[in-house]
Structure formats: structure tokens, C-alpha cells
Amino acid sequence: MIRVLRVAELGADAVVATLARPVAAVAPELRAAVAAIVDEVRRRGDAAVLEFTKRFDGVELEPEALRVGEPEWGRATLPPALGRALEEAARRIEAFHRHQLPRSWWVHDEHGALLGQHVTPLERVGCYVPGGTAAYPSTVLMNLIPARVAGVRELVVVSPPGPDGRLHPVVLAAARLAGATEAYRIGGAQAIAALAYGTAHVRPVDKIVGPGNIYVALAKRLVFGDVGIDGVAGPSEVVVVADRTAVGAHVAADLLAQAEHDPLARAVCLTDDPPLGAAVAAAVAAQCRALPRATIAEAAIRDHGAVVVTRDLAEAVALANRLAPEHLELAVADPLAWLPAVRHAGAIFLGAHTPEVVGDYLAGPNHVLPTGGTARFASGLSVEAFVKRSSLIHYTPAALAAAWPHLRVLAEAEGLQGHAAAARVRMEPSRTGGDT
């Protein structure tokens, strides 16, 4: 069911090539359809949003009903156990992200000039939450809590309405717990366009975060530049580096936890121990049959999964770096010893008792992570995604005088005499003074 590849036979390059996913091709017709939706919402506002909601979600709404009212918020009650679990998750997520808060700072250089950084939060952030028959409260917590910690004052949730025209109660409950100030029953590309450009009933936001289907992903790409986005997520990934101390059934369960997400999910075990590799392969086949989402998991394991037997553990970690996975588990005897060798991973899970699933829900670090190998240059969602940094510069007459010789030379080298003049005019005795 799952491929077993041996680096000693194939070579590292061939293994990486075998595991690489081809670039997803998006049909031009789909791109055109999403562009048309975004353009219609941009031009026609609420009228277009309502038409698309009726067409795609089968729900007919009045403009005033787009925004969730207080009665619906009040009905968003949860079973006690689920409520407690969400509260604990929210507590841990907030505690972790408070450590990420960037700070404003300034210093004086040797000439008395003040130089620094002024950090301010974004004003308004929109979070897309997939909806309909499914509910993803963890998505709400992971996207909104860092924004609230950053100081964002207006936190807006959009999600497709269910058949009854309402948002899923667990989504609303999580949104209230995370600090959402508004919620709208809008889904798909039309929701992204409404957040980006605004309508009569939806004010535009500064940044859009949250996952979604291909329509949502393409719409986020289209509006990027007019608003910020968190990124465009691809299929989920896990790479487990395991030595002989790992338990095959545990590794198999972690591979399947990702495989059940999507037929395109990638689940790979890298091990220097051939018996463990065989045990993982056997356990994957046995456990997969018992999953409710077995069909999805089987497709992902068959097409994008593998057990890779390496010549040693160093080679396993090197291969993991080349794959640059969203999730990396170090299921080895001494994970901290190998941590310095890890260069590319969205999140790193250390030790045999740290399955990736704790990061999905409860540990505290964000589960919005780079996929598709983009962990080579990208990081997970954090508080820093919701703030701006403005440079601070304050020069005294003495500091400007000290800088003038260099300013003149640099401006003249670029042929920008007006730049030089803007400093030179302040060097004239009659123009100095007053600013200390």
C-alpha cells in the first residue's frame, strides 16, 4: 500500500524526485471563473455577494442578513466538554503567541541621531473559515488569537452558511472565544472579494487569513496587493524521521493522520532502521482499513506516501531538509541532539510522545504553516503577521552635519542633485537651528 524506497539503491536525488509533487495545474476556465466572481463583487457589492450565495450555497439572504446578529451569536452554545477543550486550546494558543510580541525600540548613534522601529498593529483583519456541513473551530482560534494578541481591534469572520442559512455554532463559539468583533455568512471567492474591496454591508479589511478551497485560494491570490494575505496553503504534509527506538504503529498513525486530510496529502517516514520501515508499512495498511476516511487516506498514501530507508540518521535528516515539510517529527532517541541539523520545516515535533496532532489543536504554536516546500523560506503564522514596522529617524543639526559629506557623495553618484540639495540647504547658517 505504501512504497518502500531505499536510498542505497536509488540515490538521494532520485528519492527526492520520486516524492516531489508536480506543480498543481489550475484550469484556465477556473481562474477565469474566480476572476469574474471577484470582479462582480468589486463592481456590484452586496448584490453580487447575494447572487453568488444563492447560486453556490443554495441560501437566499437579504443584505441586512449577511452580518450575524446577536441572537445567532447567543445560540452558539456547545456541549460542556467541547467548550472546555476550546477554552483550554485558546488559553494555550494565547500564552504561546504572547511570547512573539515584537517591540518598538530606538537608539542614538554616535552623532546623536535617533534611530528605531515603531510597531503598530493592523486595524482590521478578516478570517475565512471553511463551512457548510463541516466545522473548523481550531482554524478560528489559530488565525484570530494571534491577531488579537498583536492588538488588532477589528476581527472579522466570514464563513459559508449552512442549509439553514446560519453559521455553524461551533465556529461562532470559537470566534467569540477568540475575540471576533463581526461575523458574516459569506463563503467562497465572493467572501474574499467582499473582505478585500468592501460592500455596503461589509467594510474592507487590511489582511485576509484562513484556509479554503481552490476558489478561495485563487481569490486570495487575485486580491493580494490590494490587501495582505497570510499565504496560499497547499495539501498537508508530514515527514517522520524515526530510528530503531520508534514504534512502527505510532509512526503509521501519524502518517495516516495527515493522509486522511486530502488525497494530495504527503506522508513520509525516513528511517535508518529497515525492520522499523517494514513495521511502519505493515501498520499503515492495517490501520488505514479502520479509518472512516479510508478512501482518502489510501489515495494519499498510495500516490504521495513512502517509507524511505536511509543509510544512517544523518542522511534521513538531510532528506527531510530537502523536502522542507510543513510538519517534521523527530521520533528518535535524542531529538534535541538532531535539532541543530534541521534547517527547513514549518513545525518540529520532538520525541516519540509528541504526535503532530497536538500541534493541530492544543500545544499553542500556530498550525498555519508553510506547505509545498515553502518552509525553505517561509514561516508559520504568528503575531508578527498582524503588525507593521515603521522606521524612526530623528537627526539633530550636528548629526546632519556629520552625515552631509557622505550624503553629498552618494546623491551625486546617483545623479540626484535634488537629494543633495535637500540636505545642503539645511547646512546654510541661516537655515539651521530650532530642531535639537
pLDDT above 80 for 94: yes
Q: Name the architecture of domain 28-106+120-226.
A: 3-Layer(aba) Sandwich (3.40)
Domain residue extents for the chain: 3-21+235-363, 28-106+120-226, 395-431
The pLDDT tens digits of the residues spanning 23-56 come to 766 889 999 999 999 999 999 999 999 999 999 9
For residue 339, what pLDDT is reported?
Answer: 98
Q: Name the architecture of domain 3-21+235-363.
A: 3-Layer(aba) Sandwich (3.40)
The pLDDT tens digits of the residues spanning 310-349 come to 999 999 999 999 999 999 999 999 999 999 999 999 999 9
Task: Provide the mean pLDDT of the chain.
Answer: 95
Strands of 114-121's sheet, edge to edge?
105-108, 114-121, 387-394
For residue 435, what pLDDT is reported?
Answer: 54
Query: Which percentage of the chain shows pLDDT scores above 90?
Result: 92
The pLDDT tens digits of the residues spanning 218-270 come to 999 999 999 999 988 889 999 999 999 999 999 999 999 999 999 999 999 99
Q: What is the mean pLDDT of residues 105-116?
A: 95
Is 164 exposed, middle or buried (CB count within 10 Å of its CB: 0-12, 13-18, 19+)? Answer: exposed
pLDDT above 70 for 189: yes
Query: What residues act catalytically?
Result: 326-327
pLDDT above 70 for 133: no
Q: Do domains 3-21+235-363 and 28-106+120-226 have the same CATH topology?
A: yes
Can you give the pTM of this predicted structure?
0.93
Cβ proximity of 333 and 198 under 8 Å: no
For residue 226, what pLDDT is reported?
Answer: 98
